[in-house]
Chain A
Amino acid sequence: MLEVGPFKFKSKLVLGTGKYESFEIMKEALEVSGTDLVTVAIRRIDMNAPQGKGLLDFLDLNKYKLLPNTAGCFNVEDAMLTARLAREALNTNLIKLEVIGDKFSLWPDMEQTLEAAKMLIDEGFVVMPYCGPDPVGAKKLQEMGCHAVMPLASPIGSGLGIQDRETLSIVRKAITKVPMIVDAGVGTASDAAVAMELGADGVLMNTAIAEAKDPVRMAEAMKYSVMAGEIAFKAGRMPKKFAADPSSPTKGVPGS
């Protein structure tokens, strides 16, 4: 169970809807993954083709809660406008807040993220901010009343996996009141498992599935890796040792 503000989700896997070869493949991947929270972008309607089938024709809104994002916004004003448009279009107060500070790395601008988060909270949004793996910034987001904190594991769409486990662990320790969802950077199933083993409450991903050779199979792998990582975290891993420690008795070896 993943709890974000007043919302409860069965799955700890949050999936994006971008970059799929077709809406049909996306739909099947979402279904196989077991997710019940999916992200969408908010974009201008194409005035040359205002009709025709769109994303929402392929999303069963009884099955999935929509999490609109403010992707592509580089300042507070655009992020606020996008969030308000999202609430109006989709009738939801959930928002994945992204205020990007750098086009090359798509790194979040924490100063503007904090400012926008405050305004969104004041306007009654349930705010899930994307942030850097920064324990101080993440804690500020938590303290101001964000409903989740979503640090990146590596740059958006890079598939580089969990680049800095130790720092992410420190963020985990700082975030005690709301879910910490690792957002961005997962490349394959083991990355999702590592995120959960570090104690994440959930993992948000898009490209790792959409750009896999077989997205539906990868969605299935992600479903199990998130579950396995969570169980492993709860089980508590053995301590690391710097020398071998035999698993079989050293006494009674035949012929010794």
Chain B
Amino acid sequence: MKIKVNGEFQDFQGGTVNELLRQMKISPDFVAVALNRKIVHRHERDSIDLEDGDILELVKAAPGG
């Protein structure tokens, strides 16, 4: 299936938010996830299954003022 992550389409075999983070080699600390513009809380990352066409934002702190 195809999902959109940070503005780009990605192939994903299916699975939970945490499985996506692992596949993308993203350390889950200090990272926030929005699924179709709704926040996925940490405790939900293992239980929410992604679906074809889902739009995800994966963000972290960056330099700024």
Contact B30 A56 (CB under 8 A): yes
Closest-CB distance, A32 to chain B (whole angstroms): 17
When chains A and B are docked, how far (Å) is the Cα of A16 from the Cα of B6?
25
Q: Of B57, B62, B65, which one neighbours A55 at CB under 8 angstroms?
A: B62
Total A-B residue contacts, Cβ distance less than 8 Å = 108
Contact A85 B62 (CB under 8 A): no
Contact A51 B61 (CB under 8 A): no
Known: A85-B32, A88-B39. Contact between A18 and B65, CB under 8 A?
Answer: yes
Name the prevailing secondary structure of the A interface residues: mixed
A-B contacts, 29 of them at CB < 8 A, read: A15-B65, A16-B64, A16-B65, A17-B63, A18-B65, A20-B63, A40-B64, A42-B32, A43-B59, A43-B60, A43-B62, A44-B58, A45-B31, A45-B60, A47-B6, A47-B8, A51-B27, A55-B61, A69-B65, A71-B64, A71-B65, A77-B37, A88-B42, A89-B59, A90-B30, A90-B61, A205-B65, A207-B65, A210-B65
A residues near B, CB below 8 A? 15-20, 26, 39-45, 47, 50-51, 54-56, 66, 68-69, 71, 77, 81, 84-90, 156-157, 204-207, 210
